[in-house]
């Protein structure tokens, strides 16, 4: 199977699929598509013009969730990452959606975008929006996730799944934006993030991202305020 993933490494949705592929042991090639400067042909892969998209032979798909669930069904011989049984699958999907639609607008589209992407593009960081996300909006979500995780190592059936990947991927973007989880206030969630980030499959992905982040920070530092 020749898989090509289209997208940029710092996107949490691209990271989600890359981690999913790595955990499944599926090889792929990453073809860089800058979400803010897309080639015209990308609209054929996703008319919404969002990354990621996947090519599997002559077939293409868009949306990180659609792609991960496809890969799960496509490779039934590999260890399940979307839950075993109807209820577990539903719980994984719920937490994946929670990460993608509730946490992402704050952790990624507010903190990461303002702190890293806007300065890179020569725009001002909206620090009030970042503070609002960190101090007013995200804590309720972190409370819910802390409660949901309970004493388990992983969110669903205490087995590593797409739910863990999706949540950790958003928190990585928050970190790239210079913010971290308060481990005194949310000790289980903070420990869960470290647990996921220590997984061997993630190391090459995170190492690559660190190098990109360093370059971006160096460029921002050189940009006149």
Q: Which residues bind ligand GSH (CB under 6 A)?
A: 11, 13, 35, 49-52, 63-65, 100
Minimum CB distance to ligand GSH, residue 66 (Å): 8
Nearer to ligand GSH, 74 or 147 (CB): 74
Measured CA to CA, the distance from residue 158 to residue 149 in angstroms comes to 9
- Residue 67 or 190: the one with the smaller Cβ distance to ligand GSH is 67
Q: How far is the CB of 65 from ligand GSH (least distance, A)?
A: 5
- When the beta carbons of 115 and 186 are compared against ligand GSH, the nearer one is 115
**Least CB distance from residue 101 to ligand GSH, whole Å?**
8
Q: What are phi and psi of 57, to 5 degrees?
A: 65, -125
DSSP line for 161-218: -HHHHHHHHHHHHHHHTT----TTTSHHHHHHHHHHHTSGGGHHHHHHHHHHHHHHHH
What gap in Å lies between CA 48 and CA 93, rounded to an integer? 22
Between 93 and 190, whose beta carbon lies closer to ligand GSH? 93
To the nearest whole angstrom, how small is the minimum distance from the Cβ of residue 205 to ligand GSH? 15
The Cα–Cα gap between 185 and 183 comes to 5
């Amino acid at each position: 199977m020749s898989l090509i993933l289209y997208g940029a490494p710092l996107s949490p949705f691209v990271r989600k699929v890359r981690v999913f592929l790595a955990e499944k042991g599926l090889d792929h090639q990453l073809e860089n598509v800058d979400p803010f400067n897309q080639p015209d042909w990308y609209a054929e892969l996703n008319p919404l013009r969002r990354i990621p998209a996947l090519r599997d032979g002559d077939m293409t798909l868009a949306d990180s969730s659609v792609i991960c669930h496809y890969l799960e069904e496509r490779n039934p011989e590999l260890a399940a990452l979307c839950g075993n049984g109807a209820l577990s699958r539903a719980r994984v999907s719920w937490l994946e959606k929670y990460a993608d639609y509730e946490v992402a607008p704050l952790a990624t589209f507010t903190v990461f975008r303002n702190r890293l992407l806007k300065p890179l593009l020569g725009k001002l960081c909206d620090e009030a929006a970042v503070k609002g996300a960190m101090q007013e909006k995200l804590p309720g979500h972190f409370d819910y996730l802390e409660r949901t995780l309970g004493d388990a190592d992983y969110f669903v059936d205490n087995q590593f799944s797409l739910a863990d990947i999706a949540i950790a991927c958003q928190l990585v973007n928050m970190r790239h934006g210079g913010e971290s989880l308060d481990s005194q206030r949310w000790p289980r969630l903070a420990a869960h993030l470290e647990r996921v980030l220590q997984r061997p499959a993630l190391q090459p992905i995170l190492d690559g991202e660190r190098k990109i982040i360093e370059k971006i920070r160096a460029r921002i530092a050189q940009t006149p305020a």
